[in-house]
Amino acid sequence: MLRHTTVGIIGGGPAGLLLARLLHRAGIDSVVLESRNRAYVEQRQRAGILEQTTVDALRACGAGERMDTLGLVHDGIELRFDGRAHRIDFPSLTGGRSVLVYAQTEVVKDLIALQLDQGGPLLFEAEVHAVEGADTERPLIRYTHRGREQTLSCDYVVGCDGSHGVARDALPEPVRRTYQRSYPYSWLGILADAPPSYPELVYAHSPRGFALGSMRSPTVSRLYLQVPNGTDPADWPDERIWGELDARFALRADPDWRLRRGAITAKAVLPMRSHVTEPMRHGRLFLAGDAAHIVPPAGAKGLNLAASDVIILARAFIQLSETGTTELLDAYSDTCLRRVWRAEHFSCFMTTTLHTDPGHSPFEARLQLSQLARIADSRSASAELAENYTGPPLG
C-alpha cells in the first residue's frame, strides 16, 4: 500500500505523465493516480501538434524514440480564405522553428510504457476525491482504488487532472480567480483512413464556416468542421461531412480540387471555451495543464501548454532537491501564467479570426476577411502568427 511520496500527481494525461518522467529522471519520487483505465487514456482522441519545447522535453525524458520515427516535421501551415491559399512558412519567419505532427494518443502511450517499465507507481482506476491540507506541510490525497478508500500523504501535490478534475477545488474561494469565455460554435472532428490531401495543415475560413485539415500519419487524415453548439454527430452522415469539407476547402483557382476520402473511424463533437484559474499554486498544491487553463483548439496550444507547465514545475522541484531553495517553486504560477495568457490570446485570436460567427454583422465579417488578408500580405503579421503557433522557447 502506498503511504507517502514526494510529489503526488493527480491525473495520468500528458501533463501528469510527463511530470512523472521528468521527476524520475532527476531522482525525485512521485506517484501518479489516474481515474480511468489504461486503454481509455491511450485511445482518447485529442491534439496532434507538438511545439519544439514539447518535443525536446519528451526526448529528454526518454520518450523520443517512436516520436522521432513516426512524427512528421511541418515547416508551415496553409491559410485558405476567400477561395485562395496562403502558406505561412515557419522557419523563415521565426528564425528556424517548426512543429511536429505526432498525436497526443501516441505521446500518452509512449509515456505510460516508460513509466510502467522504469518509473514510480502509476495507478489506473484510482479516482481522487479530494486534496486536503494544501496549505500544510503534509497535504493528503484521498482516493479510491479497486473499491478501497486510500490516503496518500505527500510533500507536494500536483493537480494534472484536466478541466473536470478535483484539484482546483482545493484552492479556497477567496484566493481563486477564474476568467472564461465561451464561443457560439463547436467542432465536429473525424478520423479517416485516407491519405491527407494536403502536405501541411490547412486552416480554412469560408462563409459556410471554418474547416481544418490535419493528419495523424501518411495514411490517416484528421479533419474538423465548425458546427453549431449542441450538434448531434448523428445528423452528420459521412457523405454530408465530406461534401461540407470540400465546399469549405474550395479554391477558386482549382475548382475540381476534392479531398481524398476514406472510411471514417471516429466522429465526435467538441465544444470549445477559454478558461484560466489563477493562481496556479496554493501552499503545497500546484495546478498544471487543463486543470488550470483551457484554450479553444484552433491554435494547437492545449497539449503544449500542459507540457510547458510541467517542464517549468519539474525544474522547480529539481532546484529544490538540489539546493533546498524554493525560488522557482515560488515563481511557478507567475512564470506559467505569462505563457498561458499569451496562448489564451493567440488561441482566441485564431478562433475568432477563422470561424464564422452567427452573431456577426456583414461589417464584422468584412473586418475578419481584412484581418486574414493582412496576415497573408504582411511579413510582420505572418511572423506574429508563426511565432505564436510554433511557441516561444522556454529559455
Residue 120 interacts with, from ligand DHB, ligand FAD, none (CB under 5-8 Å by kind)? none
Distance CA 17, CA 303 (A): 12
SS3 32: strand
Q: Residue 14's binding partner, choosing from ligand FAD, ligand DHB, none, with beta-carbon cut-off 5 to 8 A by kind?
A: ligand FAD
User: Is there a contact between 385 and 88 (Cβ–Cβ < 8 Å)?
Assistant: yes
Q: How many CB atoms lie within 10 A of CB 154?
A: 22
Candidate list 183, 297, 332, 355, residue with the active-site label: 297
**Sheet with 49-50, side-by-side order of all strands:** 49-50, 99-101, 72-74
Smallest distance from ligand FAD to CB 140, Å: 14
Residues 48, 196: Cα–Cα separation, whole Å? 14
**Which residue number has the CB closest to ligand DHB?**
48
**119 or 189, CB closer to ligand DHB?**
189
Residue that the C-alpha cell 476577411 belongs to? 369
**Which residue number, 22 or 298, has a Cβ lying nearer to ligand DHB?**
298
Rule CB under 6 A: is residue 222 a binding residue for ligand DHB?
yes
Task: Using DSSP, state whether 211 is helix, strand or coil.
Answer: strand
Is residue 301 annotated as part of the catalytic site, yes or no?
yes
Q: Give CA–CA dist 241/43, Å, rounded.
A: 23
36/86 with CB nearer ligand FAD? 36
Contacted by 222, from ligand DHB, ligand FAD, none: CB < 5 to 8 Å by type: ligand DHB
Among 104, 226, 308, 353, binds ligand FAD (CB under 6 A): 104
How many residues sit close enough to ligand DHB to count as binding (CB under 6 A)? 9
Per CB under 6 A, does 125 bind ligand FAD?
A: no
x/- track of binding to ligand DHB for residues 42-61 (CB under 6 A) = -----xxx------------
Grid coordinates of 341:
495568457
State the Cα–Cα distance between residues 175 and 293, nearest whole angstrom.
Answer: 16
- To the query of whether residue 389 is one of the catalytic residues in this protein, the response is yes
Confirm or reject binding of residue 264 to ligand FAD (CB under 6 A). no
- Residues 66, 26: Cα–Cα separation, whole Å: 22
Can you tell me the distance from the alpha carbon of 367 to that of 377, in angstroms, rounded to the nearest whole number? 15
How far is the C-alpha of 278 from the C-alpha of 254, rounded, in Å?
A: 48
Amino acid identity for residue 111 in this structure = L
Total residues contacting ligand FAD by CB under 6 A comes to: 31
Residue 298 interaction partner, one of ligand DHB, ligand FAD, none, beta carbon < 5-8 Å per kind:
ligand DHB
Per-residue binding string, ligand FAD, 268-287, x by CB under 6 A, is --x-----------------
d(CA 241, CA 223): 10
For ligand FAD, the closer of residues 251 and 266 by Cβ is: 266
Query: Could you confirm whether 179 is annotated as catalytic?
Result: no
